[in-house]
Amino acid sequence: MRKDDRLDAGPIRPGEHLGKVPIRVRYAETDAQAVVYHSNYFVYFEVGRTDWMLQTGIPYSAVEERGFGLFIAEGHIRYLKSARYDDELIVETRLTELRTRSCTFHYCIRKDGEEETLVEGWTALVCLGPDGKVTPLPSDLIDAMRATAAL
Amino acid sequence: MRKDDRLDAGPIRPGEHLGKVPIRVRYAETDAQAVVYHSNYFVYFEVGRTDWMLQTGIPYSAVEERGFGLFIAEGHIRYLKSARYDDELIVETRLTELRTRSCTFHYCIRKDGEEETLVEGWTALVCLGPDGKVTPLPSDLIDAMRATAAL
Amino acid sequence: MRKDDRLDAGPIRPGEHLGKVPIRVRYAETDAQAVVYHSNYFVYFEVGRTDWMLQTGIPYSAVEERGFGLFIAEGHIRYLKSARYDDELIVETRLTELRTRSCTFHYCIRKDGEEETLVEGWTALVCLGPDGKVTPLPSDLIDAMRATAAL
Amino acid sequence: MRKDDRLDAGPIRPGEHLGKVPIRVRYAETDAQAVVYHSNYFVYFEVGRTDWMLQTGIPYSAVEERGFGLFIAEGHIRYLKSARYDDELIVETRLTELRTRSCTFHYCIRKDGEEETLVEGWTALVCLGPDGKVTPLPSDLIDAMRATAAL
């Protein structure tokens, strides 16, 4: 997907801004191994991304109201240590790539007050327009995202 | 909600038709108590309901394509015995009430080949039209549902 | 289930203490109707209950560490109005019944800053011991729950 | 993780056996974009893996009963095209690596009767023993997996 992006929204210095959002593990998110079921970390990533977007001043819900959507195109995840019910986690989110039609976020999840990484990963998102086709991100959103990344 | 239904789509003899659909418990559906997390049975109920609707000849996806939607208005559930990972369950579904603007399904979940009920419950659904307001169910859908219930 | 409880933990004045916990709707929790999928409100109820239990000084995770478990035995839910992605909700939780072997919580979900109820319901939970059989709740837990309910 | 595996369970010719399992998209699995929420494909992968393991003659539930567990250590996913409510999908599963303490499965999801890939990915799993430490997979399981891969 990202290879098809011919226009580049210009350089950002990745990871300068680090979003942090707390998550308390819900019972519903655990599985019979008594740990957080692995796919749920992508939901936690989404919580981190939603919060990061909120800090741009253009919440993702506003992007959708304008008929655009960011769809996950690719993702990667590494599980280093388990989280359990009622654990208080921190999701750290960085924008690591910003292109005309796509962007990539990296995430790191750890327990509140601890340094150790439990889970890390990234997701690449592509922008679709009202017609369902790949389209450039709205320019005010690109500006806001670049500004937030540089905070 | 159901009290607001002034028009009645006419009597059906409830429970004459019993839909049955198999479900194999996924790991994702278990929790740290090593049993199916309680809210997931409503998802199983939905699988039963989807299958029941399919037998009317008007799949629920077709209802939505015409701009209508059935929304859950009320539900009740009783948990008698736990299901676990990889259990092969049967969801039995009956239409127990059919009114002009709403309908109610009852469900019974048991292990395949066993009589004992694990979980039982019901959900009442109300029909919303393209404008998001409560509206009569499409008449062909009512006919098809009544015919299926009488099979 | 509750009918089988012969011993009663004694009267509480229900609803004197009201737990409140905020929830921000995640994209993962929505469905193709663009509203919160109905079963997820039981997860929100659980978040309210977890928070209520935390206020007793005996978090539910500690109950499980001692080999006991509270299992949902019955539940009821009414949907009055939809919640959507990114909505900021409040889950209000009350303990409405406390018996020797079971307890019941009532929940009310509304948008932060608004009075209108979106969803309301209750769940009845039964206590199982290390042997998997119905057993009295630990006495210190009953005391803590009664004290919290009376706050 | 896989780099820490010093012992190798020996060569398999990857992908010779292809497991196929059907999945019908549930409403609960969709999101407000009216497509399957991205993390749910990892649940579908798990359904494919469970079915593949079942074909070895040693279902994963039996592995857990013996005190062992396979934990996801790493995963990757690519989304090429969306699936929607009620779509009938096929999950194709291949064992692509089998080592002493870990294994990797690849997955391909497409619509029933169509060639086009909607989603593809892989997950690497590591074996933990009753003590929660990385341990070799049970030898009969390795034999059964290698035999199944060569079918």
**DSSP-assigned states of every residue in C55-72:** TTTS-HHHHHHTT-EEEE
State the catalytic residue, choosing from B8, B31, B86, B140. Answer: B31
Check residue C18 and give its pLDDT.
85
pTM comes to 0.92
- C82 CA to chain D: closest CA distance, Å? 13
Q: Which amino acid is at B111?
A: K
From the list D32, D33, D39, the residue facing A40 with the nearest CB is D39
Evaluate whether D87 touches D96 at the Cβ level (below 8 Å).
no
Q: Please list every residue in chain B whose beta carbon sits closer than 8 Å to the beta carbon of residue D50.
A: 24, 26-27, 86
The contacts of residue C6 (CB under 8 Å, 6+ apart) are C100
pLDDT at B18: 84
Residue with tokens 């580049």: A8
More confident call, D130 vs B4? D130
In this structure, of B11-15, B34-38, C70-74, the range with the lowest mean pLDDT score is: B11-15
Beta-carbon separation of A75 and D71 below 8 A: no
Q: How far is CA C44 from the centre of its chain?
A: 9
List of chain A residues whose C-beta atoms are within 8 Å of the C-beta of residue B39 = 28
Q: Say yes or no to pLDDT of B13 above 60.
A: no
Give, for D62, the enclosing helix (H) or strand (E).
helix D60-65
Neighbours of chain D (3+ CB pairs under 8 A): A, B, C
Q: Which of D8, D31, D86, D112 is catalytic?
A: D31
Per-residue pLDDT tens for B83-122? 999 999 999 999 999 999 999 999 999 999 999 999 999 9
Element housing D43 (H / E) = helix D40-54
* Edge-to-edge strand ranges of the sheet holding A69-79: A19-24, A88-98, A102-111, A117-128, A69-79, D69-79, D117-128, D102-111, D88-98, D19-24
**pLDDT band of C150, cuts 50, 70, 90:** confident
How many interface pairs between B and D have CB atoms less than 8 angstroms apart?
A: 35
Between CA A131 and CA B6 the distance in angstroms is 41
Residues of A annotated as catalytic (active site), given as ranges: 31
Minimum CA–CA partner of A48 in chain C:
C26
Confidence (pLDDT) at A16: 60
pLDDT of residue A53: 96
B8 is catalytic: no
C89 close to C112: Cβ distance less than 8 angstroms: yes
What is the bridge-based pairing of β-strands A69-79 and B69-79? unpaired
User: Would you say how long chain A is, in residues?
Assistant: 151
Q: Collect all residues of chain B within an 8 Å Cβ-Cβ radius of residue C46.
A: 39
pLDDT band at C6 (very low <50, low <70, confident <90, very high): very low
Q: What is the pLDDT of residues C7-18, one digit of tens each?
A: 344 444 555 678
Which among D35, D79, D123 is the nearest to A73, CB-wise?
D79
Check A85 against B39: CB less than 8 A apart.
Answer: no
Q: Which structure tokens are listed for B50?
A: 């989807």
pLDDT at B47 over 90: yes
Contact assignment for A60 to C86 by CB distance below 8 Å: yes
More confident residue, D13 or C127: C127
Which amino acid is located at C94 in the chain?
R
Residue D15 has pLDDT above 80, yes or no: no
Nearest to B46 among D28, D59, D61 (CB): D28
**Which residue in chain A has the smallest CA separation from B26?**
A31
Contact list in D for residue A38 (CB cut-off 8 A) is 42, 72, 75, 123
Using CA coordinates, name the residue in chain D closest to B42.
D28
Q: Interface of chain C against chain B, CB under 8 Å?
A: 32-33, 35, 38-40, 42-43, 46, 64, 69, 71-79, 82, 123
Residues in chain D, total: 151
Q: Which residues of D touch A48 (CB under 8 A)?
A: none
ipTM rounded to 2 decimals = 0.90
* Banded model confidence at residue A15, pLDDT cuts 50, 70, 90: low
Please give the angle made by the CA atoms of A60, A74 and A6, to the nearest 5 degrees: 85
Q: Which residues of B touch D (CB under 8 A)?
A: 24, 26-28, 43, 46-47, 50, 59-61, 64, 84-86
Give the H/E segment covering residue A47: helix A40-54
Six-digit token string for B132: 């998001």
Nearest CA in chain D to C39: D28
Are the beta carbons of A145 and A8 closer than 8 angstroms? Answer: no
